A and B are shown apart, each in its own frame.
Chain A
Amino acid sequence: MTPTLVKTVRATVRSWPGVLSLTVLLGITAAALAAPILSLPDPADMAFDLYQPPSSSFWLGTDNFGRDIFSRVVWGARVALMVAIGAALLSILIGSALGAVAGYFGGWIDGLLSRIFDIFLLIPTFFLILLIVALFGASLPLTIIAIALTTWPRSARLMRSQVLTLKSRVYVQAALAAGAPHWWVIVRHVIPNGIAPIITDGTILMGMAILTEAGLSFLGLGDQNMVSWGSMIFEGQRHLRLAPWMSIAPGVALLMLVASLNLLGDSVNFAMNPQLRTRGGAPKRRASVAPPKGEGPATEETPILQVEDLRLEYTVGNRRIAAVDGVSFSLPRGGALGIVGESGCGKSSLGSALLQTMPNNAELTAGNVRYDGRAIILGGKPVVEGGRSRIDALRWTRIATIFQSAMNALNPVTTVRRQMMDALRLHRPGISRADATDRISEVFDMIGIPRSRMNAYPHQLSGGMRQRAMIALSLILEPELVIADEPTTALDMLIQDQILGEIADLRERLNLSLILVSHDMGAVAESCEVVAVMYAGRIVEIAPTRRIFDNPAHPYSRTLIGALPSLTGPLEKLESLPATDTAAAAAATGCRFAHACLAATDLCRKTTPPAMNLGGGHVCECHYAEDFAAETAADKREVRA
């Protein structure tokens, strides 16, 4: 068994629906297997005890021919399982083979097969099966084959998409390069690796097969030589008033078997993708605090945003991961701060914490945030005043954000104009349609979106225009502070530069305060006076922009800038550090960066570096910050692409 399979099985049996369904399934299977050796009365034996209600001698009563219903239910389980396993196996066999062929070869073969899969989706399968059975005569094997013949496209479609993603994998390519024939690669590598979701779907298929067979039997198209639950209900129906137990028992059995199959499929599915169960949701209610006493009025000098020791933790399974691990900074009114780091360093989590839009599995565990001198977060809890969270009163009118538009940050089914109109009217309920339209046009002009594009849907705009629309949306209510999270990622270089230029320009003109979150040092250079470098949840270095480019003191900042520190030799491959690495680093003692730092010493690995104040607003968490900062700019080489 592969490790993932073991993990899936474990996770499945840990959930109660998983345990429940497995138990019921095993019970029914055991009963079905043991039916011949149990000392049950022959299910076909007719006796003189007609229509006996359930009693100690006939546990579930007898039917119109005096046959023992309990025995018939047990024997019926054999038929149900035969149908389930036979039909699902056959269907998956045909489906995976054809799906694999379609996905593997692509081209016209795929075109043709995919077309057939689609057509089958549109055929009402139950009626087709019914027609086949009605024409060819009712028999169990035929029913099984008919079910398989009409349901295989389900597995085929699944297998096809699996194969499409598997095809490019290294081992498949390697096998092909080594001269293995196509069919061998499919059978040996592609099908075994793509089968997992198909097996999950298989349980649902089995349930469908059982219900289909039962339905056919209920319509009188059941195999006359077999005891099937469907036919039992078919017969019971006519004696419903006289002997209701005749139809109750087989129905309950059907329900239990099919429900446990479906429930099992569901549990396995969730076990394989745990986030399915908890993703999304409405924001949960979080504990809040009252505003602190004695908040002085804000002055010119009061920073617009003050963050002290902010911490944010995600709960993933039973692990807790500190994505933001004690971050402090202060942003003067009209100032601009760049926050730079790789993905997974916690910079976007920091942004979501400031906006209080973090997902439900994230929790602020400590820290204060003040906006314009007034606390909006105290000790990690949102500050509520007069029944309303303080952040809510600031939203969009004073703090707005620019998200990465390439990531669906705009509602795909609403025009850009409409989205701006909605935001405007939400915060200025009295505004007239004409005034609102004027304001929207004004912002569009300012951002450089042609007015003719106003009524476009997001997908109709080019990447650059869509990002501009997002910026326009953020500025519609004239906010003071804008938090931009990767606003130019996924755009081509030329457009990136244009948009960054526009953000810098708008900032000047509108006297905005700005927090610019990016993975790219160069992107923040133009518009921010101060740059903070984040690594594994902490700001490891913060300094005025010129300073950090000329004298980066932290080895990690150097790799981000692209400077090669002479002390340590080249540092490569850092950009590809995975997110889990940084999270793991956060848990360790000593310097978080030590595992990747070529200048690391024993001191680094044992003691957490203190924040070294290098003067002039330059602070760095590295034992050797002073030495590094002293190096001249001549030692560094621009390699930024």
Chain B
Amino acid sequence: MRLLRYFLYRVMQMFPIALFIVIINFALIHMAPGDVSILLAGEGADPEYMASVRQSYGLDKPLYQQLGAYIGQLLQGDLGLSFRTREPVIGIIAERVPATLLLAGTALVLASVLGVVIGSFMARRPGSALDTAVTTLSISLFSIPVFWLGLMLILLFAVTLRWLPSSGMMSIAGPREGIGFVLDVAKHMILPVISLSAVWLGQYVRLARSSVSETLAEPYVTTARAIGFPERRVMTRFALRNAMLPIVTVLGLELGLLLSGAVLTETVFSWPGLGRLIYEAILSRDTPVIMGAFLIMSFTVMLAALVTDLLYATLDPRVRL
């Protein structure tokens, strides 16, 4: 009951944010230099198509009506047409989502689990030489430009050693079903996942290290030790359990950053996901696709924030309306 009410409350809060994002998007198109209709239809579009774009966006009506029309379109899931392929943007994006989810999801799980394990291990000996070294190393890790790390991995493992494929999601002539297919994709995933998660690992090690060491200084941990709980249990049951709260929050908040890393990584590895799509759209000045991708990314991040909130509420009994 508590969770449901909280959830609904948070959902309600998302509406103004969504509206804000849509308005930003709308404002940007109108402020950008050049004719809005050309931005939306593409240069050199035939007059007939141009007219239909003007018509559907209501471009000769007053601004507030245009905004209304725009929101109406969005509500129907209409993000316009790509002017490269003339296909609906929403479809093009939807096609690319699974690949991105696979890559970003794997990297996220890998980096966060490993980060929490390493970070809480470091929290046991704060200030030690190992702790300082690991802290410094993790700072260096998340200072690496993710796309460059990808290139270096390609250089080492694909070009020099020839162990792993350097691009794509599957071999051109590889199997398309069964275990062979899974293995093929997995092989293609190794390098992009490593680049993406290495950068994030640094972030999560630091995050876990600081929140766990903070909880280890809490009075209830002293109580647990006075009771006589073995240190392993103090760590999991008391420290980690409470440290998960800030960790989960930050994980949710920084999903946007993770996604931008994913876009860059996909570009390097020609991974057929959203990032690659955005890159291609930039190269061909396909504005509707870029705008659509921004909207989708924003809504994904909002959704992630919602899930995080809910997770937080289940973890922390203190959360109430």
B278 within 8 A of A: yes
- Cβ contact within 8 Å between A119 and B17: yes
- Cβ contact within 8 Å between A276 and B210: yes
Where the two chains meet, the residues of B that have a C-beta atom closer than 8 Å to any C-beta of A are 16-17, 20-21, 24-25, 28-29, 31-33, 39, 123-127, 132, 135-136, 139-140, 142-145, 147-148, 151-152, 154-155, 159, 210, 212-220, 222-229, 231, 234-235, 237-238, 241-242, 253, 255-257, 259-260, 263-264, 267-268, 278-279, 282-283, 285, 287, 290-291, 293-294, 297-298, 301-302, 305, 315-318
A538 vs B271: C-alpha distance when bound (angstroms): 70
Q: Closest B-chain residue to A284, C-beta based?
A: B125
**19 A-B pairs (CB sep. < 8 Å):** A115-B16, A128-B294, A131-B28, A132-B28, A135-B287, A135-B290, A215-B145, A219-B263, A219-B267, A219-B282, A251-B151, A279-B213, A281-B124, A282-B124, A283-B225, A396-B228, A400-B226, A404-B219, A459-B317
A438 vs B125: C-alpha distance when bound (angstroms): 40
B263 neighbours in A (Cβ, 8 Å) = 126-127, 219
Given contacts A278-B127, A279-B217, A410-B220, contact A215 B147 (CB under 8 A): yes
Contact partner of A233 (CB less than 8 A), chosen from B148, B210, B214, B217, is B148
Contact partner of A207 (CB less than 8 A), chosen from B143, B253, B298, is B143
A426 vs B234: C-alpha distance when bound (angstroms): 12
A219 neighbours in B (Cβ, 8 Å) = 263-264, 267, 278-279, 282
Binary contact readout A137-151 vs B (1 if CB under 8 angstroms, 0 otherwise): 100000000000000
User: Which among B25, B142, B226, B255 has the greatest number of chain A C-beta atoms within 10 A?
Assistant: B226
- Chain A interface SS verdict (over half): helix
B307 to chain A, nearest CB (A): 13
B220 to chain A, nearest CB (A): 5
A214 vs B290: C-alpha distance when bound (angstroms): 19
A324 within 8 A of B: no
Interface contacts beyond A247-B148, A281-B125: sample of 18 additional A-B pairs, CB < 8 Å, sorted by A:
A115-B16, A122-B17, A122-B253, A127-B297, A131-B291, A215-B145, A218-B145, A254-B148, A262-B139, A280-B123, A280-B126, A281-B123, A408-B218, A409-B220, A413-B242, A414-B241, A422-B229, A473-B223
B264 neighbours in A (Cβ, 8 Å) = 215, 218-219
A428 within 8 A of B: no
B231 neighbours in A (Cβ, 8 Å) = 282-283
A541 vs B224: C-alpha distance when bound (angstroms): 33
B107 to chain A, nearest CB (A): 16
Where the two chains meet, the residues of A that have a C-beta atom closer than 8 Å to any C-beta of B are 17, 115, 119, 121-128, 130-132, 134-137, 207, 211, 214-215, 218-221, 230, 233, 236-237, 240-241, 244, 247-248, 250-251, 254-255, 258-259, 261-263, 266, 276-283, 352, 355, 357, 359, 392, 395-396, 400-401, 403-404, 407-414, 422-423, 426-427, 457, 459-460, 473
Q: Closest B-chain residue to A394, C-beta based?
A: B228
B257 neighbours in A (Cβ, 8 Å) = 124, 126
Contact partner of B219 (CB less than 8 A), chosen from A137, A248, A407, is A407
- Cβ contact within 8 Å between B28 and A17: no
A396 vs B223: C-alpha distance when bound (angstroms): 10
A408 neighbours in B (Cβ, 8 Å) = 218-220
Contact partner of B136 (CB less than 8 A), chosen from A17, A214, A237, is A17
A250 vs B120: C-alpha distance when bound (angstroms): 34
A400 vs B225: C-alpha distance when bound (angstroms): 11
- Cβ contact within 8 Å between B228 and A279: no
Q: Closest A-chain residue to B142, C-beta based?
A: A262
- Cβ contact within 8 Å between A410 and B223: yes
User: Which among B143, B225, B298 has the greatest number of chain A C-beta atoms within 10 A?
Assistant: B143
A266 vs B131: C-alpha distance when bound (angstroms): 14
A276 neighbours in B (Cβ, 8 Å) = 210
- Cβ contact within 8 Å between A240 and B282: no
For the complex of A and B, list the 4 residue pairs with the smallest distance between their C-beta atoms, beginning with the closest. Answer: A124-B256, A280-B216, A126-B260, A395-B228
B291 neighbours in A (Cβ, 8 Å) = 131
Given contacts A123-B21, A127-B298, A283-B231, contact A220 B282 (CB under 8 A): yes
A218 vs B39: C-alpha distance when bound (angstroms): 23
- Cβ contact within 8 Å between A266 and B316: no
Q: Closest B-chain residue to A115, C-beta based?
A: B16
